[in-house]
Amino acid sequence: MKKSVIALAIAAAVPAFAQAAGNVTLYGSIDTNIEFKDTGAASRTNIGQSGLMTNRFGVKGTEDLGGGLKANFMIEQSYSSDNPSTNPTTFGDRSAWVSTSGGFGEIRAGRDYTPFFRTICSADVMNGCTGAMTTQHIAVAVDARGGVRANNSIAYISPKMNGLSVSAMWSAGNENTGANKSDSEYMSANVGYSAGKLSLGAATETTKAAAAGNLKRTVVMAGYDLGMAKVGAFHTRRDQNGDKGDATAITAAVKAGMGYAKVSLGQGDRNGVDYSLWGVGYEHPLSKRTSLYATYGVNGADNKADQKTMHLGVRHIF
């Protein structure tokens, strides 16, 4: 009798557990390649990673709280597929946040992408804003890309209304232990608009720094889906007490055979030093989740030799 009661209790608990587990998703990607790199001073060939998409695994979930409210979470970790001994030691290094969402939008707290990065990355059709030919390189060269993620943050993401959406983030800068506690405090906001095949966006961010002066960045972007081709472009600028930089880039992906041929171009300036970028590539899908790719990118600057990188790789999403 006792065993029967236990068995019935387990049987009753299984559907509830399965229903709860059904709201949790394990996901990720693995991207490994053969990398050829020439820095001008030296060249080398090695096994690389994240040529098309940054390696990651994560878990995310949603709970229905009733009344139109939901609780959500995400924990996402990067990892090395070519040399696991170099894996990050901080768990949740990509994302670690919890949120409440409803008809009002979503409020998130933790570590997450900044509104600024979401805007500049949305203009890059190269997939994942990473790899040899991504336009992110030109923005990084002039220090105008901004922070990718922010720790200790709270953010609001609005629902889309007639194609318009906004988001805002504030980070407390808890890592700062100096005399000026407001140093490293971070604020960012963006606005986006999408209608049919057109997308537009603008964002700003400010990182407080008492000694060097507040670092401010702005970006505008536009994208258009032509069906057989996708194009995206951005212009970004940074200023910190007269230390200025700006960058402009355009990307395109054109349907070619089974996959997409891609091209990227960029130009930047940082206090009179010119920077340039160009890249080409091809992505060939083997399935909805697996692709072969080949990319080649060149990053140049007035004050140093061109940096050339080629990747031949495979990317799988799970």
Three-state secondary-structure class, residue 132? coil
* Statement: residue 8 has pLDDT above 60: no
Average pLDDT over residues 257-271: 95
* Statement: residue 116 has pLDDT above 50: yes
Average pLDDT over residues 199-214: 92
What pLDDT shows up at residue 177? 58
Average pLDDT over residues 192-200: 96
pLDDT digits (tens, 9 = 90+) for 61-87: 999 999 999 999 999 999 999 888 788
Q: Rounded to an integer, what distance in angstroms lies between the CA atom of residue 23 and that of residue 52?
A: 29
HEC string of 247-309 equals EEEEEEEEEECCEEEEEEEEEEEECCEEEEEEEEEEEEECCCCEEEEEEEEEEEECCEEEEEE
Residue spans per domain, the chain: 30-317
30-317 belongs to CATH 3.40.50.2300: no
Average pLDDT over residues 264-293: 96
* Statement: residue 115 has pLDDT above 80: yes
What pLDDT shows up at residue 127? 64
Lowest mean pLDDT among 62-66, 129-133, 158-162, 215-219: 129-133
Q: Rounded to an integer, what distance in angstroms lies between the CA atom of residue 148 and that of residue 170?
A: 14
Radius of gyration of the chain (CA): 22
Beta bridge pairs of residue 201? 192, 221
pTM: 0.88
Q: Rounded to an integer, what distance in angstroms lies between the CA atom of residue 238 and that of residue 275?
A: 15
Q: How many CA atoms lie within 13 A of 309 on its CB side?
A: 25
Query: DSSP strand E in the chain: where?
Result: 24-38, 43-49, 56-66, 69-78, 95-102, 105-113, 149-157, 164-171, 186-195, 198-207, 215-225, 229-240, 243-256, 259-270, 273-285, 290-301, 304-317
What pLDDT shows up at residue 179? 59
* Statement: residue 60 has pLDDT above 80: yes
pLDDT digits (tens, 9 = 90+) for 141-190: 999 998 899 999 999 999 999 999 999 999 987 665 555 666 789 999 99
What pLDDT shows up at residue 43? 95
144 within 8 A of 247, measured Cβ to Cβ: yes
Instruction: Quote the Cα angle for 239-241-246, to 5°.
Output: 20
What pLDDT shows up at residue 147? 84
Query: Which whole-number Å values give the CA distances from 222 to 46, 114, 121, 197, 271, in the listed order?
Result: 36, 18, 11, 11, 26
Average pLDDT over residues 9-29: 62
Instruction: Quote the Cα angle for 126-80-132, to 5°.
Output: 30
What pLDDT shows up at residue 7? 40
What pLDDT shows up at residue 75? 98
* Statement: residue 18 has pLDDT above 50: no
Average pLDDT over residues 259-283: 95
What pLDDT shows up at residue 6? 40
The amino acid sitting at 87 is: N
* Statement: residue 10 has pLDDT above 50: no
* Statement: residue 22 has pLDDT above 80: no
Cα 297 versus chain centre, distance: 19
Q: 210 Cβ partners below 8 Å, 6+ apart? A: 180, 182, 183
Place of tokens 């799988």: 316
Place of tokens 């990182």: 207
Give the residue with greater pLDDT, 126 vs 81. 81
DSSP-assigned letter for residue 85: G
